[in-house]
Structure formats: structure tokens, C-alpha cells
Structure 1
Amino acid sequence: MRYISTRGEAPALGFEDVLLTGLATDGGLYVPESLPHFSLEEIRSWRGLSYSELAFNVMHPFVDDAIPADDFRKMLDETYAVFSHQAVAPLVQLDSNEWVMELFRGPTLAFKDFALQLLGRLLDYVLEKRKQHVVIMGATSGDTGSAAIEGCRRCEHVDIFILHPHERVSEVQRRQMTTVKGDNIHNIAVRGNFDDCQRMVKESFGNQGFLGGKTQLAAVNSINWARIMAQIVYYFQASLALGGPDRSMAFSVPTGNFGDIFAGYLAKKMGLPISQLVIATNRNDILHRFMSGNQYEQHQLEHTLSPSMDIMVSSNFERLLFDLHGRDGQAVKTLLENAAKGPVSIEDYRWKHARKLFDSDAVDDKGTCDTIREIQEQNEYLLDPHTAIGVRAARNCRRDSSVPMITLGTAHPAKFPDAIAESGVSVRPQLPAHMADLFEREERYTVLDNNIAGVQEFITKHWKNA
């Protein structure tokens, strides 16, 4: 399996190098040169498999011979053994043909665990094999940071630096990152928003001279292909649990950076019958404005009750644009350069092609709270604010009630107690036992100005071989 850049100018790489590279040298994102495709008969034969067995079947073609099959199976078994539910990604029914897939049963209570608990193991394997050290630099709007730290904190060949927007993540999200002990773990609170953090990460990957040639950066954000690869699996899991592949499925996905829903798009291209993908966003609705009206334009970023989606520059959207433009890297590069200057649109026929699969909706804080309250009253089931947006968008955009609609439940409600309280429900979500003392643990983080030079200087001073 070879991987190519969405901007068409970087060299093609194998899986190991893509795992360690993050952004391509031309500023693009890596995607597979070709996708594996599974027949309905083959997908049908996977019914009844454990989650890790299914994950092996879906992901192994992407890894190919970079990791021996037995080693990869063991890695997957260890990754998903730490989840708190035997089904790993259980389904909860809300209404007739309407479901929530709980993707928050991992150690940090968010869907990011599916990819990042595996990514840490992949990095450890490859770095040990190469006797190489890397510096992980990542940006988080809330959940990626804690999942990355948990997944990588035991890695012997890694120093990890996570940037989060100061005072713009929930207290639980912050404490999940800042209370993990380890000399190789560094949390940086940037006086800015998530897009500022993400921009610094991208610029640092594009010019790593500040590291003095002593090490290289590795990515944990969803620009890393391995994260997308791991997220494809639960679309197959949901489908197989509800009668697939003999019937089509629809999915509603709370998304800010477009990675989670892009994984669903890939699942469809790999042979899984999916009739609809709903992009569910909050007031930071650039993806909704594009999908509903073919205009891609950055607005001022707003702080909402669903902070993990407070994103205006959706990195993984570039991967979809690459496909919509017939994998023409130069066309994508030109489009994104223009988008940095003002609003852009794509050719009408390309946009209409995307609309055959995608719908979208933007839900404000009031709609989010209303949905949390309604679902609690109707089902005695508590949604976190991101999943609530997904449920509201699913109901607003649903095309066919005979097709099962599955909302991806992206986080545990206990991570967002302020949003739950604002919704007016009387139930207060409790942290699980392994996090019961979270508010008693000592925090460690550094607040820095929104300045890339200062952030890079901090990294060069604090990685272990500096």
C-alpha cells in the first residue's frame, strides 16, 4: 500500500513513513493510492466477529506488510481490551430505526480513543524497530489531547507536546490532559482558539528547523492517516449489528475537523452500503455552509457548549476535496490558497456529486440543550452536547425513515457538566470509577502566548534530548 499527497507534489510513502510524517512535504495530507474494496459476501462473513477481529480485517490492507499480521492482531487485541464494554462500540436505541453508537467507552471517554490508543502502540512498534525518537506535536479542541496522552504516555521513544486553547475546553477535558504524570508529557495552554493551535502545528510540520535536525515531529491529530484508518472500523461494526450489508445505513456525525465523517465516506467507498452521511456542526458551521450552499468561507470562531467542534479550518476536508476534484492535487492546492483569502466554491457538478451522499445541519446552543433535555425526558438517556447535535441533525436531515439512522456518540456526558446543567435536566453525569478522583489530582501545564516562536522555543527546551 502506497500513500500520496492531496497536493500532488510530495513523494509517495509506505505505511511506516506515513505514520511518522503527518503532513506531506508539500503541505498536503496523505491518502491511500488506492482503496481496498470488500464484496457484500465478504462483509457478510464478518458477522459475529469481535471488534478487534473486525478491525484486523478492515485495517490490515492499509498496513500491508509493514507489520506482520500476528503482531498487528496482538496490537488490536490490546488496544480494544482496555474499553469498558464488551461490545467496544455498543448501540443504544432511541426510537424506531434510530440509534446512538457509544464511542466513549475507552479510557478517556471519547471516540478519539479508538484511533489514539492504537496509534500509541503503532508508534512504539515502529520507533523501536527503527531505534528512532520523535516529538509528537498536536493541537486539541478538547478530546484529542487526553486520548493522545493516554495512548502515548508509555512510549519510550516519544516526547509529547499538546496545545489546547486556554480556557476554551471543559474542566474535565483539561484535567484529563494536565493530570497525567510523565516526564515526556507537556501540556501547553495557548492564549487563542483551536484554529490558532492547529495553525502552529501545521506550520511547525512544514518547517522543522527549530528542532535543529536532532529529531522529527510526528502527528496525532487527524491529519495522521492512521487515525482515519482506525475510525473506518466502527461504521462496519454498526452496519453488521443492524442487518448490514444486506440493508443500507445512514449516519449522523458530530464533526469539526471532518476526520470522523471522512472515515464513513471511505467505508462506503470500500463497499459498505451507506445511503446518507449527515455532517452535524454547531455555530462554527463552515462545513454546513459549504454542503448546503456550496460556499466555503471562514467566519469568526465562536465559543460554544460543544467545544470539541469549535473549529473553523477543517483539515480533513481537504481529503474529500481531493476526491471531488478527481485527485488533482494542483486543483486542491489552488482552491485552498484562494480559500485563505476569501470565500470559494467548487464547480456545481462536483458539489452536486457530494450532495448525493452528504447532508448537513448546524445546531446552536439552544438546540443542543433542547435535544439533551428531550432525549432525557423521552428515554432517560443522557447525551453529551456533541452527540445531541448529532441527534438533532439526524432528525432534521433524515431522508428515509426505513433506513436505520445511527448517530455517532462521540463523548461521555460527564465531560461536559456545564452543558448538561444548562440543558435543565436534573440528572448529573458521574465520572466512571477510574476517574473518580480527577478533580483531586495535581495539574501540570504551561500557559503561552499565541505565538509560534514561543511555542517552538518551549518544545526545543523541554524534549528529553534537548
Structure 2
Amino acid sequence: MDYISTRGEAPSLGFCDALLAGLARDGGLYVPRKWPHFSKKEIRALRGKSYQEIAFAILLPFTNGEIPGETFRSMIDEAYGTFRHPAIAPLVQAGPNSFVMELFHGTTLAFKDVAMQLLARLMDYALEKRGERATIVGATSGDTGGAAIDAFAGRERTDIFILFPNGKVSPVQQRQMTTSTASNVHALAVEGNFDDCQNLVKAMFNDAPFRDRVKLSGVNSINWARIMAQIVYYFTTAIALGGPDRKISFTVPTGNFGDIFAGYCAKRMGLPIGKLVVATNENDILERTLKTGRYEMKAVKATTSPSMDIQISSNFERLLFEAYDRDASKVRAAMNSLKQSNGFEIAKEALAFIKKDFRAGRASEKQVAQTIKKTHAETGYLLDPHSAIGVFVAAKHEKPNTPMVTLATAHPAKFPAAVKSASGIDPALPTWLADLMHKEERFQIVKPELKAIETFIGEHSRA
């Protein structure tokens, strides 16, 4: 099991090398050369097992024999020991055939905790084995930053620098990034939007001398290990609902395309999945792409679901690679066109390949607020704005006899203003985070200038 770049011009790497590299040297994203496969019999054998046991079985083939089994099992147990619900990703029934998968029971109340807690331990292991340090740089539209800082704070072998768009994340999201007292944590508020932050991170990875000098590594979903960890909850949920002997469909609030791509990976690995439904807010590049076959950037609109206020969905490149039958030259051409003219056309056969598994829908700001209000009034269940987009879009794609699962990606208390405005309910933070809004903040405001940010990182990194 080795890993290859979607752009075909970087060397293939083993698991630990791909983990620490993050972005491939040719600007591409790493994917496994072959998908591990699980038969229906093997999936049935996972029934009745814990989340941690299923994670071990599903993820071990990806590690390429580079981590001893017992060590890997301990990492998984430790990572998910931080969660406040024994099921890790519990299911709540929302209707006769519809379910919500709660992914917000981790330390920072967002689905990013599921992958980030494991990623931190994997990186620690790989760095310690080599006697090395790393500088972690990440961009966030809100939740990745808090989850990464929580997972890496105080870790001896890493320094972490998180770029977030100044004034464009919720107050709770901001404080989860800016109130850490760990000396290895640095929060940078960029005067721009998320796409500016993400482009700066990619530019740092593409600056080879800087990358090598500070031993750069990434925790965004450009890092394969992030996607890998998220595959697990598709398996646990499908198994809980009768898989593999019936198909399950999933609706996923989607920004960077990583979470839903993990569902596609699960399907490639043998899990019977009906449809994967992309749910977007008014920044609807993915819905437009599936409809028209043209991936085209537009200006970003600020919404009540800020984690999805983006126009460049990095992980779509991984799906494109599969849709073009892993022809890296076609992916390179598309990415060059995106860089030069803000868009590209998807070939007819490739679009048909994508549409076989994927559907898409969008929710306006008004529809998001109505969904939060209606769901609470009818069931007493409170949704955050991102999860509400999922619930709204899922309702339009339900099919009789196929359970539809919406991924609830964040706790409503992370977005109290939007939730209160829609429902009249002021969602309280869990007790262990109750003092978050009273802690002192520590962050730097920076202009979106590559050299200045590289200088800051160079001065503060211990790598």
C-alpha cells in the first residue's frame, strides 16, 4: 500500500511519509494506489463491535505495516477516549427513514475532532520514530483550526500555525483557536477570506526551500490521514442500520469536499452506499458543478454557515482523479485552468462517473433558518446551521426503503447567534467549555502576504 499524487509528478510514498508530507511536491493530493476491499462477509463480522474496534479493522490496511498493530490500536483507543459519547458518532432518528449522525461529541464540538485526534497521535509516532520535529500549518474556515489546536497543543515534536479569516468565523470558533496557553500554538487572523488562507498554505507547501527549512506538514484535509479517519463513521453507521445487506444514503454539509469524499472511499472499499448527497449553502460551487459540468469560482458570500463559505473545494481534485480513471495529466490540466481562468470543464464521461454516486442540493439563508426553527418546533432537536443545510437537502433526496443519514457536523452552541435568531433558543456550551468566552485571547492579525507570514513562522518554529 503506497500513496500516489493526483497530479502524477511526485514520487509515490509510504504511509508515514505521505502523512508527514501533507501536500505532494507537485501540488497534488495523495491517494492510496489501491483501495483495500472488504467483502460483505467481512463487514457483517464487524456487527456488534465498538467504534474503536471497527476503526482498527478498517484503517489498519492503510498503514502499510508501518505501525505495529498494538501501537495503532492504542492510538485509536486514546484518540476516541477524548469523546464524550461512548458511540463516538451516535445516530438519532429524525423521521421514519431519516437519521442524523452526530459528529460533535469531541473536545471542540465539531466533526473535525474525529480525524484530528487520531492524526495528532499518528504524527507524534512518525516524528518520534525518526527523531524529527515538524511545523504544522493549516487554514481554517472555522472548525479545523480549533480541532487541530486542541489535538496538537503541548505536543513536544510539533509547532502549529493556524490561519483563519479575521472576523469571518463565529466567536466560539475563534476562541477555540485563540485561548490556548500552549507555547507551540500560534493563531494568525488573516485579513481576507478562507480561500486566501487556503491559498497561502498551499503556496507555503509549494515553496520548496521554506517547506524544507521549517519541515512543513499539514493538517487540512489535503492530508490523506484526515480523509482516512473519516471513512470509519460511514462503516459504523451503515452497519448500525443493517449494512451491508441494505444500502444507506448519506447527505453531507460540504465545503472542502473531504468529509463526503471519505464516504466515496468507503463505497470503493465495499460498503454498499446508495447516494452521496452534497449539501451546500449559497456558496454553491459544487451544486453548480454537478448540474453544469463546469467548475467555476465566484465571489464568496458570508453566511450563517461560515465553515462552508468557500469556493475552492480542495478534495474535489481527488474525486476528479477517480473520474478521469486516474489520468493525472487530465487532473493537471483542470487544475492549471482553475489557476489561470478560475474554472474548468469536466469531460462528459467523467461527469457521468461522478453523477453515478453523487447528488447535490443547496439551501438559502432563509431555508437554513426555517429548517432550524421547524426541526426544533416539531421534534425538540436543535441543529447548527451547517447540519440544518444537510437536513434540508436530505429531505429532497430521500427514497423509500433506503435510510438517509445526514451528518451533523457541529454542535449548535458553536453558532449561538444564528441558532438563536432562527429558533429563539440560546444554545449553551457544554459545562467543560463554559468558561471559553471569558478566557484571554492570544493571536496575531496579519495581511495575506506570503513572505511576511513565512517570516513569522520561521521565527517561531522550533523545527
TM range (shorter): over 0.9
Q: Distance in 2 between matches of 1:231 and 1:8?
A: 25
Q: Which runs of 4+ in 1 moved over 6 A?
A: none
Q: Distance in 2 between matches of 1:281 and 1:453?
A: 33
Q: Distance in 2 between matches of 1:154 and 1:176?
A: 15
2:360 matches 1:360: yes
The runs of 5 or more residues in structure 1 that have no matched partner are none
Q: Do the aligned partners of 1:208 and 1:217 also contact (CA within 8 Å) in 2?
A: no
Pairing 1:99-248 to 2, within 5 Å after superposition: 99-210=99-210, 213-248=212-247
2:97 matches 1:97: yes
Pairing 1:414-425 to 2, within 5 Å after superposition: 414-423=413-422, 425=423
Q: 2:437 aligns with which of 426, 436, 439?
A: 439
Q: Do the aligned partners of 2:386 and 2:409 also contact (CA within 8 Å) in 1?
A: yes
Residue type of the alignment partner of 1:115: A
Q: Distance in 2 between matches of 1:23 and 1:136?
A: 12
- 1:396 corresponds to: 396
Secondary structure of 2:100's match?
Answer: strand
**TM-score under structure 2 length normalisation:** 0.98
- 1:285 corresponds to: 284
Q: Distance in 2 between matches of 1:426 and 1:445?
A: 32
State the shift of 1:402 in Å: 1.4
Q: Do the aligned partners of 2:154 and 2:183 also contact (CA within 8 Å) in 1?
A: no
State the shift of 1:338 in Å: 1.2
Q: Do the aligned partners of 1:292 and 1:359 also contact (CA within 8 Å) in 2?
A: no
Please give the per-residue CA displacement for 1:346-367, whole angstroms capped at 9, x wherever unaligned. Answer: 1212212211211001111111
Residue type of the alignment partner of 2:453: V
Secondary structure of 1:95's match?
Answer: coil
Q: Distance in 2 between matches of 1:346 and 1:142?
A: 30
Q: Distance in 1 between matches of 2:246 and 2:413?
A: 34
Q: Do the aligned partners of 1:301 and 1:312 also contact (CA within 8 Å) in 2?
A: yes
Q: Distance in 1 between matches of 2:213 and 2:23?
A: 19
State the shift of 1:124 in Å: 0.8
- 2:452 corresponds to: 454
Q: Distance in 1 between matches of 2:163 and 2:238?
A: 35
Please give the per-residue CA displacement for 1:60-82, whole angstroms capped at 9, x wherever unaligned. Answer: 00012110000000000011111
Please give the per-residue CA displacement for 1:375-405, whole angstroms capped at 9, x wherever unaligned. Answer: 001110000000000011111233x121000
Q: Do the aligned partners of 2:8 and 2:328 also contact (CA within 8 Å) in 1?
A: yes
Residue type of the alignment partner of 2:449: N
Q: Distance in 1 between matches of 2:62 and 2:429?
A: 36
Q: Do the aligned partners of 2:320 and 2:350 also contact (CA within 8 Å) in 1?
A: no
Secondary structure of 1:182's match?
Answer: coil
Residue type of the alignment partner of 1:321: L
Q: Distance in 2 between matches of 1:311 and 1:59?
A: 29
Identity %: 53
Secondary structure of 1:397's match?
Answer: coil
- 1:265 corresponds to: 264
- 1:29 corresponds to: 29
- 2:20 corresponds to: 20
Q: Do the aligned partners of 1:208 and 1:216 also contact (CA within 8 Å) in 2?
A: no
Secondary structure of 1:164's match?
Answer: strand
Q: Distance in 2 between matches of 1:129 and 1:55?
A: 23
Q: Do the aligned partners of 1:112 and 1:144 also contact (CA within 8 Å) in 2?
A: yes
Please give the per-residue CA displacement for 1:268-308, whole angstroms capped at 9, x wherever unaligned. Answer: 01000001000001111111101122111000011110000
Secondary structure of 1:344's match?
Answer: strand
Q: Do the aligned partners of 1:223 and 1:315 also contact (CA within 8 Å) in 2?
A: yes
Residue type of the alignment partner of 2:365: D
State the shift of 1:418 in Å: 1.1
Pairing 1:67-86 to 2, within 5 Å after superposition: 67-86=67-86
The runs of 5 or more residues in structure 2 that have no matched partner are none
State the shift of 1:215 in Å: 3.1
Residue type of the alignment partner of 2:253: P
State the shift of 1:210 in Å: 3.3
Q: Distance in 2 between matches of 1:191 and 1:174?
A: 14
Q: Do the aligned partners of 2:92 and 2:102 also contact (CA within 8 Å) in 1?
A: yes
Secondary structure of 2:353's match?
Answer: helix
Q: Distance in 2 between matches of 1:298 and 1:263?
A: 23
State the shift of 1:433 in Å: 1.2
- 2:382 corresponds to: 382
2:462 matches 1:464: yes
Q: Distance in 2 between matches of 1:329 and 1:348?
A: 17
Secondary structure of 2:294's match?
Answer: coil
State the shift of 1:209 in Å: 2.1
Q: Do the aligned partners of 2:420 and 2:427 also contact (CA within 8 Å) in 1?
A: no
Please give the per-residue CA displacement for 1:395-450, whole angstroms capped at 9, x wherever unaligned. Answer: 1233x121000000100000001111221x13221111110100111110000012
Q: CA RMSD of the aligned region, Å?
A: 1.0
Q: Distance in 2 between matches of 1:342 and 1:223?
A: 20
Q: Do the aligned partners of 1:7 and 1:329 also contact (CA within 8 Å) in 2?
A: yes
Q: Distance in 2 between matches of 1:15 and 1:335?
A: 27
Q: Distance in 1 between matches of 2:448 and 2:135?
A: 20
State the shift of 1:190 in Å: 0.1
Q: Distance in 1 between matches of 2:156 and 2:134?
A: 10
Residue type of the alignment partner of 2:314: S
Q: Distance in 1 between matches of 2:226 and 2:94?
A: 28
Q: Distance in 1 between matches of 2:27 and 2:213?
A: 22
Q: Distance in 1 between matches of 2:321 and 2:298?
A: 23
Residue type of the alignment partner of 2:358: F
**TM-score under structure 1 length normalisation:** 0.98
Q: Distance in 2 between matches of 1:337 and 1:359?
A: 26
Q: Do the aligned partners of 1:153 and 1:185 also contact (CA within 8 Å) in 2?
A: yes
Q: Distance in 2 between matches of 1:255 and 1:66?
A: 32
State the shift of 1:342 in Å: 4.0
Residue type of the alignment partner of 1:216: K
